[in-house]
């Protein structure tokens, strides 16, 4: 399987990249980003591109792929709706059109957020914009999947690029086991997220196309090890 990843330096992008590197079923990974990766595996190839609203210059590089994991995103804090829309909607749709143009059987996975507003008419700005983005992707002529992740616990050395988020995770990481027991439908891990992205490719457009944290955790469950009682369940 050949995979494209957008946003591989962010926390969810790191999760997707690591899962693809570790999965023997993934033969090639193309990472599209504005800056080079700090390090890369032998099966990773990079395209450095600055304008995420226009991929014309690298269109030829995006052909012949089975899946695209779009993990690029920002917090809405401090942004106007216009600014947030440009990053969240315009950039995502530009990438989706570019990747989908010559990959007719593509699976496109978009990392959204728990609480997204599919009606596009609610009072919360980020939820409306993400809802509009989800709806546009689900209407496109490829196999689209939306991951509505909630709290994501970083694992295996994966960290957020945002300093405030890194501090938050350091302060609250001890709470994850509690959250996992009290609100299992609202939490996941980077490990489950990455494995679930690969798993949905095999669904080939089958339901559900909008995945909750429970769906992500189910699809991202590690393969059972007969010698290890009790899987790594979220």
Q: 122, 110 in Cβ contact below 8 A? A: no
Q: How far is CA 71 from the centre of its chain?
A: 4
Q: Is the pLDDT of residue 223 over 90?
A: no
DSSP annotation of 39: S
With residue 153 as reference, give the H or E element that holds it.
strand 151-153
Model pLDDT, residue 178? 72
Mean pLDDT of 46-75: 95
Q: pTM above the 0.85 mark?
A: yes
Alpha carbon separation from 96 to 77, 91, 99, 179 (Å, rounded): 25, 9, 5, 34
Q: CA–CA separation, 57 vs 211, rounded Å?
A: 33
Q: CA–CA separation, 78 vs 63, rounded Å?
A: 36
Query: pLDDT for 170-209, tens place per residue?
Result: 766 767 677 677 777 788 999 999 999 999 999 998 989 9
Query: pLDDT for 120-139, tens place per residue?
Result: 999 999 999 999 999 999 99
Model pLDDT, residue 229? 41
Task: Check whether the bond before 208 is cis (ω within 30° of 0).
Answer: yes
Q: Is the pLDDT of residue 234 over 60?
A: no
DSSP annotation of 145: E
Q: CA–CA separation, 1 vs 49, rounded Å?
A: 23
């Amino acid at each position: 399987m050949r995979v494209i990843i957008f946003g591989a330096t962010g926390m969810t992008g790191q999760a997707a990249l690591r899962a693809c590197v570790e999965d023997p079923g993934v033969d090639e990974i193309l990472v599209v980003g504005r800056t080079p990766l700090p390090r890369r595996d032998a099966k990773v190839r990079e395209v450095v591109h600055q304008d995420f609203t226009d991929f014309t210059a690298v269109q030829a590089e995006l052909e012949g792929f089975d899946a695209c994991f779009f993990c690029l995103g920002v917090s809405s804090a401090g942004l106007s709706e216009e600014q947030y829309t440009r990053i969240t909607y315009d950039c995502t749709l530009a990438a989706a059109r570019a990747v989908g143009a010559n990959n007719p059987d593509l699976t496109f996975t978009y990392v959204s957020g728990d609480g997204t507003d599919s009606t596009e008419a609610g009072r919360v700005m980020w939820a409306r914009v993400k809802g509009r983005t989800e709806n546009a992707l689900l209407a496109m002529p490829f196999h689209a999947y939306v991951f509505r992740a909630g709290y994501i616990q970083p694992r295996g050395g994966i960290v957020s690029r945002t300093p405030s988020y890194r501090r938050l995770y350091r302060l609250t990481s001890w709470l994850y086991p509690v959250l996992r027991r009290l609100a299992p439908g609202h939490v996941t891990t980077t490990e489950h997220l990455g494995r679930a992205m690969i798993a949905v490719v095999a669904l080939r457009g089958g339901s559900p196309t909008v995945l909750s944290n429970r769906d992500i955790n189910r699809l991202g469950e590690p393969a059972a090890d007969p010698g290890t009682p009790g899987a790594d369940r979220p």
